Structure 1
Amino acid sequence: MAKKGSTVLIVDDQGELRNMVKKMLRQMDLFDAYVEARDGEDAWERLTAGPFDLVICDVDMPRLDGMGLMKRCQGDPELREVPFLVISGDRQQGAVAVAAELGAYSYVVKPFSFMTLRDRVEEVFERRNSPEHLRFRAAQRLKEQGRLQEALEIIRAMEGSGQPLKGKWLNLKGEIFWEMNELGQAADCFEKAIKGSMLFVAGYKNYASIQQELGHRDKAIDALLKADEISPRDAERKLSLGKLLLEEGQIHEGKAFMEQAIRQSSPEERQMTQVKVAEAFLEAECFEEAEKLYSGVLQSSPEDLQLYNRLGIALRRQGKYAEAVRYYNQALGIHPDNPIIYYNLGVLYAQAKDRYRAIEFLSRALKISPNFKEAQQALAQIQGGA
């Protein structure tokens, strides 16, 4: 049960639902303070200002949705352990799985009754205060502190209790082995985690990452496809999957996942996602796609030097020299003393067989930065070929 003096945060963009939940909670007489937030951003401000014993949060909200709020909390050591009870109109297993992946303790589907909400709230506190959960959190904290052997001792004690380890324990054990560079043992733990729970998205994510590190891209792709099937709302996972498919030469499939990653990213993360996708396209030599994304992002960030450089490379690799030069000149108007721009112009003119201008711009790069090794090598190669 909730302890005396407990505070609950109710997050929903609809005032009527917030009032209904607050009324139900008052009837339960479990909390002393009730705080409301109209969306994820409002809730984030309140969470960072003071401690809460429970967050009851809707999924679909403007600005920052419930999943985004939980993801942000997971990235903050001070808020990682705040329990979330998620409210949603989606009863699909995938929605429940992604909420659990982001740290939700329980999940309730709208519309719900007083009894249902009360049971879920009590379930959250019973789970939070259970000996098994407290041991798991202790092992997690030891891992975060780098005390890996001590964390393993807690896990091995759980194994010795006679009960098979749950997926989250196996996943944590795998993460510890991974940090110890025991990749084979880590992979085994992640594989057992997903075999024990076919909806354990975090296990698939880790299994994919370690298989990629082991050089087994086919297994990584299979795991990410399964995770995406269970939980199709994760833009970052779609980005990883798209990149792997592009690297494997599955261009059409890779592009499809990249497009989905951009569509599903939150408004605050969309531009960064577009840049990541553009980088993946550039690496996969999908230069036209990279050009479109870089030029689009550049319109909203016209002073970003990196965007000019990357767009120039995408254009140069397509033989669009005049357009590339135009963008590089725009960049020089903003950053007139940047050696990388001069270097890229030198490389462009070398590729265009304009030896005189290639030497001119590479020399300018070296005048600004005399130890610029790439420029030194490019200039020596051009002059040596005279």
Structure 2
Amino acid sequence: MLEELRFGIFSNNSANISTDRLTLVGIGASKIYVYSTWENAIEALEGSIIDVAIVDDSLHDTSGAKCVRKLRKHANRALPIIMVTYDQRKDSVLESISAGCGGYVLRPYSMETLKRHLFAAYVSVTPDEIEQELLSASWDMVSNGSFDEAIDGFEEIIEELTDVEKSPAEEYFEKGLNFLSQEKYGKAIIAFNKAIAMNEMYAEAYKGMADAYKGKGDMENYQEYLTKAADIYAVQDCLDNVKELFIEILQNEPEALNPFNRLGVRLRKEGDYNGAIKAYHQACTFTPNDPNLYYNMARAYTYAKDFESALNYTELCLSLDSSMEPARALHTQIVKQIEKNNGKRNKIATPKVSMDDED
């Protein structure tokens, strides 16, 4: 499989370029392109002439990490990008993951090591084989004018997105954050790659649905599914921002007892209340008996106007620390708001929050 791919080497170091090129030839690659400056690479990237990028510590006009970030901006989101470097500092690894690398290989490396990382990166950004075949077949149906059959195929791909609290892509993303907090960087990279690949597949399916409806002359559904495709990309942008913020916390507060609580606070202050709530729920696995955490959750739910959930978390906070006056004041405010909205306080079930430590 690897021998069929087109590789791009991004480096200004002639010795490293020679090593990487010989290694790629050794694993069977025949299409290898070299870019010593970012300026030379832009046209090639926009023409999609490479399938995998290998990025060195620097180019003549940018650093390796900045090159990765630029690749993410100008190339296909799912392009596998492998950082190959001498730098094994924790902050450098985190910076590269934040930029969007799909693998991190330390020099000097063996041919088998690079091959393993290339394979893992490429596979992790490639959708499931069956779903990929279904996606391709559905696009063929659009081309052939079989619009109803194409719609059925695309719907089969995206049906797992309906009636679920979070998509499989978001689940992979949350796994990536957890792996980062445990310093399992290889697993984190793979999880983030999977999240991007799945979002790419869903967006492609929605675009296919849009084209199929356009072929049928149904412009209302055409616009609807085109918007849904754009929404998927907006979600991925949001996930990327959260990942960068979380890595910034890990870099600047390496001794933080609960980095997810820190993430929740930052997201809440930025107005991303749903993102903050998700971060706080993950924080529960770190410090499940922290009353301040549940107070923060209650505040986020209050800002999100989910007053019933906010009430439950103030009560949980006060059950752990009855002397916490800010939580008591917030509890009173929420009760008044619920009474104002409903005319009376309804009985609300206690949220299911695990109070046990998890591995």
TM-score by length of 1: 0.38
Could you say which structure has the greater relative contact order, defined with CA pairs below 8 angstroms and 6 or more residues apart?
2
TM-score by length of 2: 0.41
**Which structure would you say has the larger Rg?**
1
